[in-house]
Homo-oligomer: A and B are copies of this chain.
Amino acid sequence: MAKNSLPHEKVLRIGIAGLGTVAQGLLTLLVENAERITRQAGMPIEVVRIASRSAKPEVDVGKAVFDTNLESLLHDDVDVVVELIGGVDAARELISSALTRGKPIVTANKAVLAEHANEWFSGDAILGIEASVAGGIPIMSTLKSGLSGNRVDWLVGIINGTCNYILTAMDEQGTSFADALKEAQDLGYAEADPGFDVDGVDAAQKLALLAALAFDIPVSMDDMYIEGISGVTVEDLRYARELGFRIRHVGIARRNEEKFETRVHPSLISATNLVGDVAGVANAVIVGANAIGSILLVGPGAGGLPTASAVLSDLIEIARGTYPRLRIGQNEGIRVPVAATESRYYLNIPAADRPGVFGEIGDILRRGGISIEAVIQKREAIRKTDGESWVPIVMVTERVVEASMDDALSHLSSLESVRGQIRRIRVADFDR
A32: B residues at CB distance < 8 A: 151, 290
Which of A34-42, A58-66, A111-119, A390-398 forms part of the interface with chain B? A34-42
Asked if A291 and B33 make an inter-chain contact with CB atoms under 8 angstroms apart, the answer reads: yes
Asked if B277 and A306 make an inter-chain contact with CB atoms under 8 angstroms apart, the answer reads: no
A309: B residues at CB distance < 8 A: 147, 149-150, 289, 291-292
Query: How many residues belonging to A are interface residues under a CB distance threshold of 8 Å?
Result: 64
A142: B residues at CB distance < 8 A: 138, 141-142, 146
Assembled-state Cα–Cα distance A270/B118 (Å): 45
Asked if B295 and A137 make an inter-chain contact with CB atoms under 8 angstroms apart, the answer reads: yes
A293: B residues at CB distance < 8 A: 136, 299-300, 305-306
Query: Given A33-B151, A317-B145, are A306 and B291 neighbors across the interface (CB < 8 Å)?
Result: yes
**Of B40, B145, B278, which is within 8 A of A316 by CB?**
B145
**What is the chain B residue whose CB lies nearest that of A37?**
B149
A1-54 with Cβ < 8 A to chain B: 1, 4-5, 25, 29, 32-33, 36-37, 39-42
A216: B residues at CB distance < 8 A: 36, 39-40
- A322 CB–B CB distance under 8 Å: yes
**What is the chain B residue whose CB lies nearest that of A326?**
B40
Assembled-state Cα–Cα distance A298/B275 (Å): 11
Assembled-state Cα–Cα distance A322/B291 (Å): 22
**What is the chain B residue whose CB lies nearest that of A323?**
B322
Asked if B136 and A40 make an inter-chain contact with CB atoms under 8 angstroms apart, the answer reads: no
- A389 CB–B CB distance under 8 Å: no
**What is the chain B residue whose CB lies nearest that of A292?**
B136
- A327 CB–B CB distance under 8 Å: yes
- A296 CB–B CB distance under 8 Å: yes
**Of B1, B4, B36, B327, which is within 8 A of A40 by CB?**
B327
**What is the chain B residue whose CB lies nearest that of A316?**
B148
Asked if B320 and A147 make an inter-chain contact with CB atoms under 8 angstroms apart, the answer reads: no
- A432 CB–B CB distance under 8 Å: yes
Query: Given A274-B274, A300-B292, A305-B291, are A324 and B325 neighbors across the interface (CB < 8 Å)?
Result: no
Query: In the complex, what's the smallest C-beta–C-beta distance from A147 to chain B, in angstroms?
Result: 7
**What is the chain B residue whose CB lies nearest that of A320?**
B324
- A321 CB–B CB distance under 8 Å: yes
**What is the chain B residue whose CB lies nearest that of A139?**
B146
Query: In the complex, what's the smallest C-beta–C-beta distance from A351 to chain B, in angstroms?
Result: 37
- A208 CB–B CB distance under 8 Å: no
Asked if A29 and B291 make an inter-chain contact with CB atoms under 8 angstroms apart, the answer reads: yes
Per-residue CB contact flags for chain A residues 106-148 toward chain B (1 = under 8 Å, else 0) read 0000000000000000000000001000011110011001111
**What is the chain B residue whose CB lies nearest that of A40?**
B148
Query: Given A309-B291, A324-B320, are A151 and B36 neighbors across the interface (CB < 8 Å)?
Result: yes
A250: B residues at CB distance < 8 A: none
- A297 CB–B CB distance under 8 Å: yes
Asked if A1 and B145 make an inter-chain contact with CB atoms under 8 angstroms apart, the answer reads: no
- A312 CB–B CB distance under 8 Å: yes
Asked if A325 and B320 make an inter-chain contact with CB atoms under 8 angstroms apart, the answer reads: yes
A168: B residues at CB distance < 8 A: none
A321: B residues at CB distance < 8 A: 1, 4, 322
**Of B29, B296, B311, B316, which is within 8 A of A297 by CB?**
B296
Assembled-state Cα–Cα distance A371/B317 (Å): 48
**Of B1, B40, B141, B306, which is within 8 A of A5 by CB?**
B1
CB-CB nearest 7 A-B residue pairs: A149-B312, A138-B146, A295-B299, A136-B292, A291-B309, A322-B322, A1-B321
Q: List 9 A-B contacts (CB under 8 A).
A: A33-B150, A36-B150, A41-B148, A138-B141, A148-B317, A149-B313, A291-B312, A293-B305, A321-B322
